Chains A and B, each alone.
Chain A
Amino acid sequence: MKRALALLRAGVAVCLFLTLAVPAGQAMAQAKPPIKFGVAAAVSGEAASYSKPFLDAIQMIAEDFNKEGGIMGRPVQVVFYDDRGIPDAALQAAKKLVFDDKVHTLQPGSTSGAIFTAMPVGKDGKVAMWGYGLAKQWLVEGEGMIWRSAAPDQVMIGALARFAYEQQKLRNVGILHIDTFYGETSRDIFKQEFEALGGKVVKVVTYADGSRDFSSQLLTLAKEKLDSVFLVVQGGAMAPALRQVRQFIPRAWTVLADNNLYNPKVREESADLANGIYYYTHPMIIQNPDPLVQQWIGKLRQRLGTFHEIMARAIIGMTVMKVAIENAGTTDAIPVMKQVHRMKNFPTPMGKFTYDPRDGEGLKSGVVLQVKAGGDMSKDQVIQTITVTRELYDKRIDYTKFFGPGYREELYAFHGVK
């Protein structure tokens, strides 16, 4: 008993020592200081279905950067924490990344809600940020310290709504969406765009993140006179949702979906259930003949065994950041973000990245597709491509806090906008 106690005390002491000593040790051993890319990603939880491939792609690209000599001669290091798709955890992860690990760039969350929540940490710590989520508010609140490596929902859901009204002649839509920031924003945009055209969103039902049973929600929808349903359903919930839609919707409704249908795992799992469904996504698809797109698809398939549209967001994020840091000659946030603000026609697999200083978006293209053959995404048919040039939001970005008065006018002049 005594020996066990002694051992236990020793064990506790060792653990306490380690918890305090290890971070100190890490701070001391530094050859050439690496450039740290901080990422809050979901490697568990529902969001992992798209956040993990995103992280995998980031790590692959960082490896490639290092093979080519790093950035400004310094090695690239990816530091990440699991935020499980939850804003709380993203906030914690961002604090650790910014204040403990002292990262030079930050991707603050695995979902739009998480990004929105954790972004102030990056602003406090003056770190250059980028986000891959598609819901708009965090971009505007970012005050120029964060940019988006994708086209926003505003563009793509707008395309889907227009397609639904004009081409499919749909008039009464029911929406089933996940009960998160992302789900709510998607619903709001679809409703706004669809109703502006003359259609009507008849009923909205929601489900909690992690839930798999939609029977009550679908029963509620089935009572209405609808000609279509729009599913904003993520990750592992998509296949069960499709199965239950087939079971509980008595009439053959047109099913619209968001870009979770571009997730290879979801498509594999849904198989034939997905046939006939219309969904939107970004231009990095197999059907796009752009050589840059095909080159990247080949590379991802070879290195990561699969290809996911979300990996394109990682590619764009990393390559734009690298170029911005190199052009700025420093990792300080303000000069780096200024380089991002000045980007024009930077080639990416989602089209040319041109920063629009009014709304902060750099990419404004989307596609609408129809699923033809279950799990085989190469057979999806492109129905519509859309590119938007107008300013997307009511509120414009205010750059004064971080970039000074007069900066906005300077940028607008540079880009030739008002």
Chain B
Amino acid sequence: MRSPDASGTPRLRVAFAAHLLLVGALLAVPFALRSEVFVLRLFNQVFLNVTILLGFLVVLGFAKQFSLAQVAFYGIGAYTTAALTAKAGLGFLPALLLGGVLAGVAGGLLAIPAARFQGPWLSLVTLAFAEIVRIMMVRAKPVTGGAGGFYNIPRPTIAGAEVTQEFHYYFLFLALVLFVYLATVRLRYSPYGRIWLAVGDNPDIAASMGVNVFAHQMLIFVVGAVIAGLAGGAFAAYATFISPEGFGLAHTVQFLTMLVVGGLQSIVGTVLSVVFFTLSSNELMKYHPWDLIVDGLIIVLFMNFLPRGLGGIITSIGQRVWQRRSPGTR
């Protein structure tokens, strides 16, 4: 994707400008479309899903830790925020942050046994962990409300303002997704990011170059879990009702679909993929269960023909465009 090399300075400027324009447009949207609650709701869903997927991207994409536990951290963040605001009377922002922290701690704890494994074995251990968490959500009835779910999660009050309509939530979710997006981009192009990519590609070589692979794996898990936990807390305050069903394998499958279509290492691809799937699933919901069949087919087709996803396509297009622009460098 974007390279921070010296020859790329004009590219960086273009990208920066594009981002500014986009953020500006996104800030204008809710005022222009205030009455179109339906549209605002779609935007909120997109922002939330992008946040969740960025967590997946960091852990599964960059570092190739094929953890299927992300939904569990999402759930931990959600239930923590819900319990703290509804039962302990905490304000939304502290509850949200604590949700993220608790999820992060859980992520670190999972990393201890899980980091020993690679590939499908890691998936298995993390899947087992996710299912145990989900079952405990059902069994710990006094805290979580059990299978029936957690009702009446209070709406957030941020800096004195009550967040009740889609219009208000828009800004909450926009702030969240921008924060996570910027953090992800920053991480990706930082030394940490480079190490994580190396650990993902070949942990043995990375270890032989002096990298403390285990410590980094733990950090990766924690970061992914914190992202998921923050998204979960925001979700809990948005839906005002959560139940263990919302944090199960079916959701993992949907997120994985978005991830692979986006391309496992591409930030832009992931964002595009999320936008596409969120919008289309809203429409296709009418034709359930065909929408799930289509999802499955998309996964299989992409795996067979486009394993690098939308991100891969964008990269090859981008390379071709830049090749034509600077003929001397290739």
Contact = CB atoms under 8 A, between A and B. Distances in A.
B316 A87 contact: no
Nearest to A43: B288
Contact of B241 (A82, A91, A179, A184): A91
Interface stretch (B119-127, B146-154, B196-204): B146-154
Contact of B289 (A5, A44, A117): A44
Nearest to A20: B279
B243 A88 contact: yes
A117 B41 contact: no
B148 A184 contact: yes
B103 interface: no
Contacts of B306: 8
A23 B243 contact: no
Contacts of A181: 148
B245 A87 contact: yes
A16 B289 CA distance: 21
A15 B288 CA distance: 18
Interface string B33-74: 000011001000000000000000000000000000000000
Given A22-B283, A82-B288, A87 B149 contact: yes
Given A18-B283, A82-B288, A88-B245, A95 B316 contact: no
A209 B288 contact: no
A8 B313 contact: yes
A16 B138 contact: no
Secondary structure at the B interface, as helix, strand, loop or mixed, is helix
B239 interface: yes
Interface string B276-306: 1001101101101100000000000000011
A100 B147 CA distance: 29
A5 B147 contact: no
A116 B280 CA distance: 28
Question: Which interface residue of B147, B316, B317 has the most chain A CB atoms within 10 A?
Answer: B147
Interface in A39-96: 43-44, 81-82, 86-89, 91, 95-96
Nearest to A89: B245
A5 B313 contact: yes
B148 A180 contact: yes
Interface residues of B, number: 32
Contacts of B310: 12
Interface in A92-110: 95-96, 99-100
Nearest to B281: A19
B113 interface: no
Contacts of B41: 95, 99
A413 interface: no
A88 B288 contact: no
Given A81-B288, A88-B243, A88-B245, A19 B282 contact: yes
B246 interface: yes
A81 B241 contact: no
B288 A44 contact: yes
B276 A117 contact: no
A304 interface: no
A366 interface: no
Contacts of B286: 81
B38 A12 contact: no
A99 B240 CA distance: 17
A91 B245 contact: no
A96 B240 CA distance: 16
A99 B37 contact: yes
B241 A117 contact: yes
B313 A113 contact: no
A81 B285 contact: yes
Nearest to B241: A117
A23 B36 CA distance: 13
Nearest to A83: B288
A86 B245 contact: yes
Contact of A88 (B138, B246, B279): B246
Contacts of B246: 88
B279 A19 contact: yes
Contacts of A19: 276, 279-280, 282-283
A87 B283 contact: no
A91 B138 contact: no
A88 B239 CA distance: 9
A113 B149 contact: yes
Interface in B132-167: 138, 146-149, 151
B285 A96 contact: yes
B38 A117 contact: no
A297 B241 CA distance: 39
23 contacts: A4-B305, A9-B313, A15-B280, A18-B283, A19-B276, A19-B280, A19-B282, A19-B283, A23-B38, A23-B283, A44-B289, A87-B148, A88-B242, A88-B245, A91-B239, A95-B41, A99-B38, A99-B41, A117-B149, A117-B241, A180-B148, A208-B147, A209-B147
Given A8-B313, A15-B276, A82-B288, 17 more contacts: A5-B313, A19-B282, A81-B288, A87-B148, A87-B149, A87-B241, A87-B243, A87-B245, A88-B243, A91-B241, A96-B282, A96-B285, A99-B37, A113-B148, A116-B151, A179-B147, A208-B147
Top 3 nearest A-B pairs (CB, nearest first) are: A19-B279, A82-B288, A179-B147
Interface of A: 4-5, 8-9, 12, 15-16, 18-20, 22-23, 43-44, 81-82, 86-89, 91, 95-96, 99-100, 113, 116-117, 120, 179-181, 184, 208-209
